[in-house]
Structure 1
Amino acid sequence: MKTKRLKSAFCQRLLSAFTPFAAQVLGGLALALVVSAPARADIKLVFGTYAADKPTVTVKKYKPFLNYLSQEMTKVLGEPVQIRMKIAKDYENGIDDLANGDVDFARFGPASYITVYERESGIQIVAMESKGGSKRFKGIIAVHSNSTAKSLSDLTRQSFAFGDPLSTIGRYLAQSHLIDAGVTSQELSGYEYLGRHDRVGTAVGEGRFTAGALKESTYKKLVQSGVPIRVLFEFENVTKPWLAASGMDPRVLAAMRQVMLSTIDSEVLDSIAKDGFVEGDDADYDFIRKAMQHSRSF
């Protein structure tokens, strides 16, 4: 019994001497792990679009919403989210940027979405813009205020200004409706692609073209600024999709979609989508695909 008691006392003294040392060693190792562990990097995203209007107008238009989006995604993900903007000089370059993964997400017109999706099927719709709860809005074919034209058929042997060759309103839908009215490139006296919508409206107002196709919002701004144009014909278009590149982290995509679909702040949405966002699907753009096919007869 005495031997056992001696062994027990010795073990207790040994343990009491070793425990502080072990705690010190383990504590040092833990500290080393904390210090050596890399800090969590910010999530850096690049937003891409093309200049359908002046580049300065484009930056002013998107900046408030992108700032808001980064702040809210930071809250959802629990990690800092940074977003910078890349504006392509035209539709084609903007499509290349998204297809090649040079930007992480983008806001495109319907025809550009269809074009980029054909190149890279991994691209996903984050959300669609809402217009009064609808996915449709108006495109305009405008003429000079003094024009005597009353219908599209009156444009025979007249000149026409289109937007970008890849524009939904500025080309595909406009040409589709002209074809339906019996007006093809053969019936026009001439036509040109001017790129931006504001250039189209201005050119018609200056009398350089008889008519031109542009989006309704740009038409209204030009009229308010004194450009002498009026509506000859209105047609329906589907609202713009916001798209995620094929390589986007699903967790980041989900956070972006969550923020966009839940945003109701009118000040934040004012310059982008006044009525917010709705869920979108590829099938929403089927009638644009048909118009693109139809326009080949132009």
Structure 2
Amino acid sequence: MMQFHRAAVPVLIALAVAASTLLGCGSKTTATSTPEKKTLLRVGLIPNIAPEEQKTKYEPLRLYLEQELGRPVELFVASNYTGVVQAMVSGKLDLAYFGGLTYAQALQQVDVEPIVTEIDAETGTEKYFSLIIAGKDSGVSSLGELAGRSFAFGDPSSTSGSLYPRKMLSEAGYDWEQDFAPIKQVVYSGGHDATARAVENGSVAAGGIEGRVLARLEKDGKIDASRIKVIDKRLVQGYPWCVAASMDEELKEGIRKAFLDIDDPALLDLLRARRYVSVDADDYAELRADAERLGLLNPAK
């Protein structure tokens, strides 16, 4: 349940960042994953929708990877974004589907390597949209009209539901170090679907959300699109699939090839992709800099 306690918001952010960095203790570790010596490939997914739905949704991908890699695959979905970071840091995962921010948070603690991301079906590029949406009858049509109103972020470690909405609000003159004053109330819904519902039903005036999730919620009839409007948006570097840097090169390249070879339209639609392309750490350098500047990473040592 969302909590409308203005004073608690900085604490929530601090706890979220601390939770994702606690195991690092200020320095990186080497991921202990050695899946090439195991039968099982352990795959983690950030819960960009309700966790119980996420695991079921990605079952076709699990089956595809089993077939392509010739080994059993197990999916893990944490209750929040930092749970997937912690699982990778502690060596409980071999492959993880991170957002750009969770990748950056993981990278501060453990050697992980982004290998592929999707070409977005809407933009035709490696980037997708982070949106700020408002209720149609909220009286808010621009970021400048949020003073004295309420705003919902998603999970504190969400790229499109936290980092980029923070960036948009900061660029519009709201002070992130002072709880985005003069916005009256800032809350954390825990996920994109919860943010969409909060804006739709008027619990908050506006919120940050991933554009693709909003489109899927509309398509599935889970929200009424006529009650929501987009008031700002930014392009975001795509979600990276990341492996432990210590992974055997043959397995690493096998995983990369499995994604690059996906051509089943139904599976690509499920994954919100036209196709996959290779990426590396440099593709996320700007995102990491934004995350550090806006207080979502530990300061660079």
Classify the TM-score, shorter chain.
Answer: 0.7 to 0.9
Whose helix proportion is higher, 1 or 2?
A: 1
In structure 1, list runs of 5 or more residues that go unmatched: 1-40, 75-80
CA distance, structure 2, for counterparts of residue 72 and residue 165 of structure 1: 35
Give the match for residue 201 of structure 1.
Answer: 196
Q: SS of the residue aligned with 1:270?
A: helix
User: TM-score by structure 2 length?
Assistant: 0.78
AA in 2 matched with 1:60: T
Contact kept? 2:128, 2:235, Cα under 8 Å: yes
AA in 2 matched with 1:191: V
AA in 1 matched with 2:97: R
Give the match for residue 214 of structure 2.
Answer: 219
Q: SS of the residue aligned with 1:209?
A: coil
AA in 2 matched with 1:145: K
AA in 2 matched with 1:117: L
CA distance, structure 2, for counterparts of residue 222 and residue 259 of structure 1: 28
CA distance, structure 2, for counterparts of residue 221 and residue 71 of structure 1: 27
Shift in Å, 1:95? 0.3
- Deviation digits for residues 170-192 of structure 1 (CA, Å, limit 9, x no counterpart): 11111111011112322110111
Matching residue within 99, 102, 107 for 1:112: 102
Contact kept? 1:157, 1:188, Cα under 8 Å: yes
Shift in Å, 1:246? 3.3
Shift in Å, 1:286? 1.8
Percent identical pairs in the alignment equals 26
RMSD: 1.8
Contact kept? 2:134, 2:141, Cα under 8 Å: no
Give the match for residue 6 of structure 2.
Answer: none
Query: Does 1:266 find its partner at 2:265?
Result: yes
CA distance, structure 2, for counterparts of residue 152 and residue 262 of structure 1: 41
Taking structure 1 as reference, are residues 230 and 92 closer, same or farther at Cα in structure 2, changes over 3 Å only? same
Bigger CA radius of gyration:
1
In structure 2, list runs of 5 or more residues that go unmatched: 1-36, 297-301
Q: SS of the residue aligned with 1:119?
A: coil
Query: Does 1:141 find its partner at 2:136?
Result: no
User: TM-score by structure 1 length?
Assistant: 0.79
- Deviation digits for residues 21-78 of structure 1 (CA, Å, limit 9, x no counterpart): xxxxxxxxxxxxxxxxxxxx9721111113221123212321101211110122xxxx
Give the match for residue 276 of structure 1.
Answer: 275
Shift in Å, 1:150? 2.2
Contact kept? 1:155, 1:183, Cα under 8 Å: no
Matching residue within 60, 74, 90 for 2:80: 90
Shift in Å, 1:205? 1.1
Give the match for residue 68 of structure 1.
Answer: 64
CA distance, structure 2, for counterparts of residue 250 and residue 100 of structure 1: 21
CA distance, structure 1, for counterparts of residue 125 and residue 268 of structure 2: 16
Q: SS of the residue aligned with 2:76?
A: strand
Q: How does 1:9-48 map to 2 (within 5 A)?
A: 43-48=39-44
Matching residue within 142, 150, 163 for 1:172: 163
